[in-house]
Chains A and B, each alone.
Chain A
Amino acid sequence: MSVRQVVMGVAATVIGGGLVVSLTGAILSRTSAQSKPLHATVKGTAPTAEGTLPHAFLDLSTYPDSMGGPHGGDGGTHPDWVTYGPTTDLRVPAHSLVTMTIKQYDTGGSLNNPYFAVPYGTVGGTVTVDGKTVSTVDPDGVGHTFTIHGAPTNQDPLFVSVPLPAVSDDAEPAPNSDYPPPHVVTFSFITGGKGEYVWNCEYPCGDGYYARFGGPMATRGYMSGTFTVE
């Protein structure tokens, strides 16, 4: 074979192989994408211990199945999995007061670690449940938690953990809804500089899996997601 043929062959193999690898990468990358990001709405400013900061609002819900979340009307591939909604990709502004409201529709039970029955990192160390401000909830009556954490190095530390009390097991569905009336949980915290964090639920709600931490707990887009301070 001539040198030219060899060079052409090598080039074709390298380009072809590169294409196969890129295609595989692209498919893998696509399958691991989250649903589209939810940006907090900034409305005015608020006085805080760290001075007057922009006030951002973010609304989430937790559903007992996947009909209500970001997985489509038919519930996606796992209609019976619990999920957060409307998305799991959350974006908030830096150096702001963030007030989150989570509508918690799911039932629950006991935490595996009572540590998470106490709110951490919120303004005043409290959380407002259905209009009532508390500094701890019953560790045996928790539906989910919303727990933000991340690498402590090279970005401002951010640790916020809030228990979301469980809806009673025998609650009737609300009118015009598949779900009983939710607990409305509101809490605020102050963000530092830019950073990339994750959040997840620390209440073991992956029923049917070891330690109830598989399934929706171990799958992106259900009970965990990213929390970007930008």
Chain B
Amino acid sequence: MSEAMVEFAAAPPSTGGGGLLRRLNLLTAVAGGVLFAAIGWYISHRIMQLGDFGSDRVVTITLICWALGFMVGIGAFAGPLRWLLGRDQEHEDEMFLAGKDQGIGRYFRFTTDHKVVGIQYLVVTMVLFAVGGTLAMTIRTNLITPNSGFLGPQTYNAVVGIHGLVMIIATIVMVTGPFGNFIMPIMIGARDMAFPRLNALSLWLLVAAVPILLSAAFLGGIPTGWTGYAPLADQAPPGMDAYTMTIIVFAMSSAIAGVNITTTALTMRARGMTWSRTPIFVYGVVASVGLAIPAFPMFMSAEVLLGMDRSFGAQFYVAAGGGSPWLYTNLFWLMGHPEVYVIVLPAVIALMEITPVFTRKPLFGFNVAVLSIVGIVGLSVMVWAHHMFTTGWAPDLNGSFMLTTELISIPTGLLFLVIIGTIWRGRVWTTLPMMAVYAMLWNFIIGGVTGIYLSDVPADYALHGSMFVTAHFHYTLMGAGLTGAIGALFYWFPKMTGRMINKRAGLVSFWLVQIGFNVTFMGMFAVGLAGQPRRVVHYDHLFAVGNFVSTMGAYCIGVGMLILLYAVVSSWRHGAVAPANPWGAKTLEWAVPNPIPLENFEVLPVVISDPYGYGEGDPVLPPTQRELVPVGAPRDPVAEDDTETSQS
């Protein structure tokens, strides 16, 4: 028994407090949110309706009240409140919060167990993708012919903005949320996250933000695209207030998640897990959330200023009032460019984690991989103004931003080297996760190369704001990012659900999505090069063929995604029961039994090698030290507490 367990056992018996805490769940949260929102609406409506900026103030206050009420109702403030009253939660409360001995109900509560949070993130991500995907289908349906008239311009603009923001939020959390929370702590040999309550807090803040975002649909939409450029955003209907509140709540959620995940990875790795023995996926997750920590406050402050513009006439972005639209674009892209790496890095690196398992080879160039991640993270905060070459802001800086942007292709290229070096001469085992690796190699090369065109200032003058850009970032965020997340889902599904995923349905879905994806966005590249702007409700007949092809491809993606949904849901319920380690992988999460016990490890593992020792005999040690390994040591690198092997 570990020290922690002993301490828990020695805690005094419960005095029976916390009864209210036990009754809080998603229902009470929604009730609390609605109640607070109704009160906020009524009061603000009575006071402010007739004044200037009345509707914006009312909407903002109502949404703030919703978020507060929701968090009260889910029990997010129970812990801090008790601290204020001078007592902490008792052991029993902690165990209740961790979801001990509870059934499905724990997934609808403020549960601190990282595995529950991971599953909650997975479901929220899937819901967001379903919403964003539905909107994508309506967008593509509208663009099926040059002037289909399916959606009016106002609805179209609103749908484009909501699609964009829903998808951006979904892709930001799609890897670090489900897998960073569920898998990463087990992977490093920890019993939970460093701050379990913050973990639950970040998840429920995200859940609180989703209805705020969707409320935009009923408040006039987000007619600015997901970028929310001011001063168009100053002019927009109250849906824009929902946009600012979504970003503010989501930025809090991601900052909390970032601090929590980073701390966990820094401090809670198992004994013996030196940095060179830490699985590469942990680096990917830390790089992602670590980048989010400086990036999202920029976005949040941009939106706070926008909110003040809209509700108080502050004119931060209004040139006539002394403000500047360039203030918004700078703040936005200071977040926006790190943000694409927040999305892409963990997804690509999840596939990097997967590759050795399905080629039965060590990761090629572990240090190279780490250095390239560091390089990308470092450079990614210095490239933001490549989104602003055509704005007219500081044209003299265009050259330097072109330099930093093109430099980033060097570490990105090294990521490819690591993956193909690992595949080279491997026993390529073409499972669903490995197929995702191949799909990513195809898509991300195309996304990367087209990114280089856009980094070239004169070429960007021609291509900026066209469908070419739309196709480019879908190739990176969807072709590399989402493909990586789906690969990760296929890979970790047996561990997260205890079931094997239906391979046949998975295969059909994989090919439909990948073929549909390439058809959709190749068509989009073509019309972009030919001169079709982004975000237009109708277009020149010149672009008719490309758009029709795109729409057909999009329907193909839609069907493929629905089949994926079926595969996930049906396999989760009825799939074949998975063995503890179906892929023969060597990272720690495969060493724990299915289903995973509450605190993962009965005995904390000691790590004596990195998890990539394929084909090297076990465990991986320099030849001179091999004889020191006790006979009959387990095949995986998990050693029992007492097998203290001499290590550096």
Task: Look across to chain B and name the residue whose beta carbon is closest to the beta carbon of A11.
Answer: B566
Task: State A61–B610 Cα separation when bound (angstroms).
Answer: 77
Q: Chain B contacts of A18 at CB under 8 A?
A: 558, 562
Q: Which of A2-31 contact B (CB under 8 A)?
A: 3, 6, 9-10, 12-14, 16-18, 20-21, 24-25, 28-29, 31
- A48 on the interface (CB 8 Å rule)? no
Task: Look across to chain B and name the residue whose beta carbon is closest to the beta carbon of A219.
Answer: B154
Task: State A164–B520 Cα separation when bound (angstroms).
Answer: 46
Q: Chain B contacts of A31 at CB under 8 A?
A: 155
Task: Look across to chain B and name the residue whose beta carbon is closest to the beta carbon of A31.
Answer: B155
Task: Look across to chain A and name the residue whose beta carbon is closest to the beta carbon of B138.
Answer: A25
Q: Write the nearest CB–CB distance from B325 to chain A, whole angstroms.
A: 11
Does B137 contact A220, Cβ atoms closer than 8 Å? no
**Which of A13, A16, A20, A206 has the most chain B CB atoms closer than 10 A to its own CB?**
A13
Does B153 contact A220, Cβ atoms closer than 8 Å? yes
Does A210 contact B235, Cβ atoms closer than 8 Å? yes
- B49 on the interface (CB 8 Å rule)? no
Does B159 contact A28, Cβ atoms closer than 8 Å? yes
- B580 on the interface (CB 8 Å rule)? no
Task: Look across to chain B and name the residue whose beta carbon is closest to the beta carbon of A15.
Answer: B562
Interface residue tally on B, bucketed by range: 35 or more
Q: Write the nearest CB–CB distance from A184 to chain B, whole angstroms.
A: 30
Does B223 contact A154, Cβ atoms closer than 8 Å? no
Does A210 contact B504, Cβ atoms closer than 8 Å? no
- A218 on the interface (CB 8 Å rule)? yes
Q: Chain A contacts of B502 at CB under 8 A?
A: 1, 6
- B151 on the interface (CB 8 Å rule)? yes
Task: Look across to chain A and name the residue whose beta carbon is closest to the beta carbon of B571.
Answer: A1
Does B147 contact A153, Cβ atoms closer than 8 Å? no
* Total residues of chain A contacting the partner, CB 8 A: 36
- A33 on the interface (CB 8 Å rule)? yes
Does A21 contact B134, Cβ atoms closer than 8 Å? yes
Task: Look across to chain A and name the residue whose beta carbon is closest to the beta carbon of B54.
Answer: A208
- B443 on the interface (CB 8 Å rule)? no
Q: Chain A contacts of B540 at CB under 8 A?
A: 151, 153-154
Does B235 contact A10, Cβ atoms closer than 8 Å? no
Task: Look across to chain A and name the residue whose beta carbon is closest to the beta carbon of B321.
Answer: A210
Does A14 contact B152, Cβ atoms closer than 8 Å? no
Q: Chain A contacts of B155 at CB under 8 A?
A: 28-29, 31-32, 220
Q: Chain B contacts of A29 at CB under 8 A?
A: 150-151, 155
Task: State A136–B237 Cα separation when bound (angstroms).
Answer: 34
Q: Chain A contacts of B318 at CB under 8 A?
A: 210
B565 contacts which of A17, A24, A206 (Cβ < 8 Å)?
A17
Q: Chain B contacts of A24 at CB under 8 A?
A: 134-135, 138
Q: Write the nearest CB–CB distance from B523 to chain A, whole angstroms.
A: 19
Contacts A28-B151, A29-B151 given; does A13 touch B566 at CB 8 Å: yes
Task: Look across to chain B and name the residue whose beta carbon is closest to the beta carbon of A29.
Answer: B150
Does A211 contact B235, Cβ atoms closer than 8 Å? yes
Contacts A6-B505, A210-B234, A210-B318 given; does A13 touch B562 at CB 8 Å: yes
- B644 on the interface (CB 8 Å rule)? no
Does B563 contact A32, Cβ atoms closer than 8 Å? no
Task: Look across to chain B and name the residue whose beta carbon is closest to the beta carbon of A25.
Answer: B138
Contacts A21-B138, A153-B542, A211-B231 given; does A32 touch B154 at CB 8 Å: yes
A25 contacts which of B137, B559, B566, B569 (Cβ < 8 Å)?
B137
Task: State A17–B562 Cα separation when bound (angstroms).
Answer: 7
Q: Chain A contacts of B602 at CB under 8 A?
A: none
Task: State A13–B318 Cα separation when bound (angstroms).
Answer: 48
Does A13 contact B565, Cβ atoms closer than 8 Å? yes
Task: Look across to chain A and name the residue whose beta carbon is closest to the beta carbon of B147.
Answer: A196
Interface flags for B537-559 (1: CB within 8 Å of A; 0: not) read: 01011100000000000000011
Q: Which of B457-510 contact A (CB under 8 A)?
A: 502, 504-505, 508
Q: Chain A contacts of B569 at CB under 8 A?
A: 13
Does B154 contact A218, Cβ atoms closer than 8 Å? yes
Q: Which of B216-236 contact A (CB under 8 A)?
A: 220, 223, 231, 234-236
Does B150 contact A220, Cβ atoms closer than 8 Å? no
Task: Look across to chain A and name the residue whose beta carbon is closest to the beta carbon of B560.
Answer: A14
Q: Chain B contacts of A21 at CB under 8 A?
A: 134, 137-138, 558
Interface flags for A175-206 (1: CB within 8 Å of B; 0: not) read: 00000000000000000000010000000001
Does A218 contact B223, Cβ atoms closer than 8 Å? yes
Q: Write the nearest CB–CB distance from B289 to chain A, whole angstroms.
A: 32
B156 contacts which of A1, A32, A154 (Cβ < 8 Å)?
A32
Q: Chain A contacts of B574 at CB under 8 A?
A: 1
**Which of A6, A28, A211, A213 has the most chain B CB atoms closer than 10 A to its own CB?**
A28
- A34 on the interface (CB 8 Å rule)? yes
Does B138 contact A28, Cβ atoms closer than 8 Å? yes
Q: Chain B contacts of A173 at CB under 8 A?
A: none
Does B231 contact A210, Cβ atoms closer than 8 Å? yes
B570 contacts which of A1, A17, A154 (Cβ < 8 Å)?
A1
Contacts A154-B541, A211-B235 given; does A10 touch B563 at CB 8 Å: yes
**Which of B138, B236, B569 has the most chain A CB atoms closer than 10 A to its own CB?**
B138
- B112 on the interface (CB 8 Å rule)? no
Q: Chain B contacts of A209 at CB under 8 A?
A: 235
Q: Write the nearest CB–CB distance from B288 to chain A, whole angstroms.
A: 30
Task: State A113–B150 Cα separation when bound (angstroms).
Answer: 33
Task: State A12–B562 Cα separation when bound (angstroms).
Answer: 10
Q: Which of B136-158 contact A (CB under 8 A)?
A: 137-138, 141, 147, 150-156
12 additional contacts, CB 8 Å, given A10-B563, A154-B541? Answer: A6-B502, A14-B559, A16-B562, A17-B565, A21-B137, A24-B138, A25-B137, A25-B141, A154-B540, A154-B542, A213-B235, A220-B154
11 contacts between A and B (CB under 8 A): A1-B502, A1-B574, A14-B566, A21-B138, A25-B150, A32-B151, A153-B542, A154-B541, A215-B237, A218-B235, A220-B155
Closest 3 CB pairs of A and B: A32-B152, A32-B155, A13-B566
